[in-house]
């Protein structure tokens, strides 16, 4: 069985993914869950990345095909970490 996914650029409607992943089990090795304020800041940064040059880095929502279900996130940054 083959699984197909597509990548969708991060958008304003994707904040719920940050909230879903902000659980103790998911953030244990990162210092624990972030505050609501920090999540909002992260959302703004991710949205801003969607309008930059692609080489500067992007965040994406991972979507399972053909159901259209969002199953995760993935991102990239430039080698300089911009």
**What is the pLDDT, as a whole number, of residue 52?**
82
**How far is CA 46 from each of CA 2, 12, 39, 66, rounded to the nearest angstrom?**
30, 9, 10, 25
Whether 56 contacts 7, CB under 8 Å: no
Q: At CA 79, angle to CA 62 and CA 59, rounded to 5?
A: 20
Q: What predicted TM-score, i.e. pTM, was given to this entire model?
A: 0.81
Mean pLDDT by 10 residues, the chain (82 residues): 91 94 92 95 92 85 94 83 50
Whole-number pLDDT of residue 2? 87
Alpha carbon of residue 23 to chain centroid: 15
């Amino acid at each position: 069985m083959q699984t197909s996914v597509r990548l969708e650029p991060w958008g304003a409607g994707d904040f719920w993914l940050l909230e879903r992943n902000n659980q103790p089990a998911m953030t244990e090795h990162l210092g624990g869950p972030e505050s609501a304020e920090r999540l909002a800041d992260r959302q703004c940064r991710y949205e801003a990345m969607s309008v930059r040059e692609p080489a500067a880095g992007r965040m994406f929502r991972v979507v399972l095909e053909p159901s259209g279900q969002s199953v995760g996130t993935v991102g990239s940054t430039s080698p300089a970490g911009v």
